[in-house]
Amino acid sequence: MAGQLRVYRRRIRSIQATKKIMRAMELIAASRIIKAQQRVAQSTPYAEEITRAVSAVASYSDVDHPLTREKEQREHAAMLLVTSDRGFAGAYNSSAIREAERLSELLRSEGKQVSPYLVGRKAIAFYRFRGREVAGEWTGFSDSPAYQDAKEVADALMQAFTRAPEEGGVDEIHIVYTQFVNMAVQRPTVRRLLPLEVEETEEEPAGGTFPLYEFEPSAEGVLDSLLPRYIESRIYNALLQAAASEHAARRRAMKSAGDNADDLIRSLSRAANAARQAEITQEISEIVGGANALAGASSGSE
């Protein structure tokens, strides 16, 4: 009984130490969420305005640009999957990977070969464990991406898109990341980056009617300059959204782990108290039994 009580107390001390670590990680994630949200808010207006500019050029010109042209035969697709470098983020990584697997299955059902481009050690570990080939991979900036990181990823994807298919080029580019909705909701999202989807509609675009532009030196030259910046800004915004989602998911996971530790400590404390009470009861019973035996022996000798 005494040995069981020691086991309970040792487990309680171990869980209490683990709870302190969880609490520290929760506080760190909570402090980083604010900065991540601010960076998302700062990058969103630029991404929206450059999207409007690209849309305006595509709307008011008849230019046939390679980045907006739909190829007749699309046999190769690139998929950029954004995950985290570190764990302890609940279902954040598994949800993004699951969404990427669904996208890959859909593209393959359309007869396309999928070339994965991976951001984050979790996605890389997932593909390496299964022995899958990867077209590109980046690590080290998932929780605090810089614009230069997004530009590096965008350059690799743009080179693959402009390269000939027989040289390993791709016909379209998709991105899978986790969109930050709020502190409680983070949604895995799939978007097609290239080729740009051009739709004919009579509805007014979001943000109001496009201004009238004059293109210098030409609409094609403007698109040559704008479209790479457009892709970079969309990827950068996606990386920032994913970073904010990662911190929010980690904070929620650590809080849940801390609550579970509290429940386990209470359960073990009750078990330890029961074991201690049983030990005390057994000692009292042994003392009473010994006293009765001595009393019986004394009365027999008289």
Cβ-Cβ contacts under 8 Å for 50 (sequence gap 6 or more): 226, 229, 230, 233
Is residue 45 in some structural domain?
A: yes
Structure tokens at 147: 């614009």
* Amino acid present at 131: G
The verdict on residue 176 lying in a domain is: yes
Q: Comparing 105 with 196, which gets the higher pLDDT?
A: 105
Mean pLDDT of the chain: 84
Provide the number of structural domains found in the chain.
1
Q: Is residue 60, in this structure, part of any structural domain at all?
A: yes
Residue 19 lies in a domain: no
Residue 91, token pair as written in the block? 């279902």
Domain range for residue 121?
Answer: 26-255
- Which range has the worst mean pLDDT, 41-50, 85-94, 141-150? 41-50
Q: Is residue 285 part of a domain?
A: no
pLDDT above 70 as % of the chain: 86
CATH number of the CATH domain containing 238: 3.40.1380.10
Q: Is the residue at 9 inside a domain?
A: no
Q: Kindly state whether residue 300 falls inside one of the protein's structural domains.
A: no
Residue 208: is its pLDDT beyond 60?
Answer: no
Name the pairing type of β-strands 186-194 and 172-180. antiparallel
- 295 domain-assigned: no
CB atoms within 10 A of CB 146: 13
The pLDDT of residue 204 is 54
Helix (H) / strand (E) containing 176 = strand 172-180
What string of DSSP letters covers 13-78?
A: HHHHHHHHHHHHHHHHHHHHHHHHHHHHHHHHHHHHHHHHHHHHHHHS-----TTTPPPS---EEE
Give the DSSP H or E segment for 244. Answer: helix 219-301
